[in-house]
């Protein structure tokens, strides 16, 4: 199954973006100083309607427009090069027996990830209220849209032929003009969108679980193990389907996971739970300008 921006993916991203319209940052007590807001015990994250709205909208629109450009056939693919030029780790993708059902399995896996995201958002709302639901929806939407944008930009910049095209089209010695040279999607192998999306969702879910449940609870560890296993399964099936090389899914998973961790982390800020101050763990910090001066500090926070 070709990996491209489908109407279903657009629907998911648009639905996630719609949550932003209704979202509001966790409200602090009006009597509290703005630099140290007071949150309810279950609140750890805050959103900014302007910043998050711009990021989500930009990521969504950018990735969809690039996806539409790629779907027109305007950018013509070239024939794959020699298989001998591939990295050793990637050669297995063109020498294996391609599994015709692997594409379907990877799609099932990614839908399972989307399903968990929906469950996690709704569960947060039922457990901690409407505000938690909206904040989680914004963070998941931001992780997915930024990952999608970076994925499409990289695909159109690299234009790496898919493994299945090495099998079907041969090498540059093959006479041009065959059917394998007509579809732009044939050169969108690097990096895997399935793997990056799965990595982003798993990382965001894991980060939220660790912050809300703590390291002594089983929930975050189960989320980490299941999310990692699901991402690995999806990545493996993308390789088995002939759609991606191993390096495509490795880089995709790592990129998605990085964005999936950074997005919720950047939505945290120091706040009060009753009279207890919760500080965001950091190695390097930046203090905003005060009386014309700013400062940068480095240190460990445990």
Distance CA 247, CA 209 (A): 29
Residue 58, domain member (yes or no): yes
Residue 1, domain member (yes or no): no
Domain tally, the chain = 1
- Comparing CA positions, the residue from 44, 17, 23 lying closest to residue 272 is 44
Q: What is the mean pLDDT of residues 51-77?
A: 88
Q: What is the mean pLDDT of residues 178-201?
A: 84
Higher pLDDT, 181 or 27: 181
Answer for the pair 255, 191: CB distance below 8 angstroms, yes or no.
yes
Mean pLDDT of the chain: 80
Predicted confidence band at 4 (pLDDT cuts at 50, 70, 90)? Answer: low
Helix (H, G, I), strand (E, B) or coil at 38: strand
Predicted confidence band at 166 (pLDDT cuts at 50, 70, 90)? Answer: confident
Q: Which of 9-23, 87-101, 182-196 has the lowest mean pLDDT?
A: 9-23
Q: What is the mean pLDDT of residues 123-134?
A: 87
Q: What is the pTM of this model?
A: 0.78
Residue 249, domain member (yes or no): yes
- 84 vs 77, 140, 166, 292, CA distance in Å? 20, 41, 11, 60
Residue 2, domain member (yes or no): no
pLDDT at 272: 53
Q: What is the mean pLDDT of residues 128-138?
A: 89
Q: Show the domain range for 269.
A: 7-298
The torsion angles phi and psi of 132, rounded to 5 degrees, stand at -65, -40
Answer for the pair 279, 270: CB distance below 8 angstroms, yes or no.
yes
Concatenated DSSP letters of 219-281: HHHHHHHHHHHHHHHHHHHHHHTTS--HHHHHHHHHHHHHHHHHHHHTT---EEETTEEE---
Distance CA 77, CA 116 (A): 36
pLDDT at 71: 82
Predicted confidence band at 224 (pLDDT cuts at 50, 70, 90)? Answer: very high
Residue 294, domain member (yes or no): yes
Helices then strands (H, E): number in the chain?
A: 9, 5
Residue 141, domain member (yes or no): yes
């Amino acid at each position: 199954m070709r990996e491209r921006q489908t109407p279903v993916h657009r629907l998911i991203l648009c639905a996630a973006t719609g949550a932003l319209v209704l979202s509001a940052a966790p409200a602090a007590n009006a009597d509290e100083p703005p630099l140290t807001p007071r949150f309810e015990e279950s609140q750890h994250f805050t959103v900014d309607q302007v910043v998050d709205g711009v990021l989500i909208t930009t990521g969504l629109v950018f990735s969809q427009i690039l996806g539409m450009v790629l779907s027109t056939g305007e950018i013509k693919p070239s024939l794959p090069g020699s298989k001998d030029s591939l990295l050793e780790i990637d050669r297995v993708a063109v020498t294996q027996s391609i599994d015709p059902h692997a594409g379907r399995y990877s799609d099932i896996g990614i839908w399972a990830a989307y399903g968990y995201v929906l469950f996690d958002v709704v569960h947060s709302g039922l457990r901690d209220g409407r505000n938690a639901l909206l904040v989680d929806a914004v963070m998941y939407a931001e992780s997915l849209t930024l990952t999608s944008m970076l994925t499409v930009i990289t695909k159109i910049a690299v234009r790496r032929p898919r493994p299945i095209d090495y099998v079907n089209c041969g090498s540059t010695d093959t006479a041009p003009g065959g059917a394998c040279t007509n579809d732009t999607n044939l050169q969108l192998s690097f990096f895997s969108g399935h793997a990056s999306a799965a990595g982003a969702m798993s990382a965001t879910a894991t980060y939220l679980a660790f912050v809300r449940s703590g390291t002594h609870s089983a929930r975050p560890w189960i989320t980490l193990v299941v999310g990692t296993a699901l991402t690995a399964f999806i990545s493996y099936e993308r390789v088995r389907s002939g759609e991606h090389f191993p390096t495509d899914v490795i880089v995709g998973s790592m990129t998605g996971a990085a964005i999936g961790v950074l997005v919720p982390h950047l939505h945290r800020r120091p706040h009060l739970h009753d009279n207890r101050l919760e500080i965001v763990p950091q190695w390097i910090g930046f203090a905003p300008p005060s009386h014309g001066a700013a400062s940068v500090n480095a240190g460990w926070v445990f």
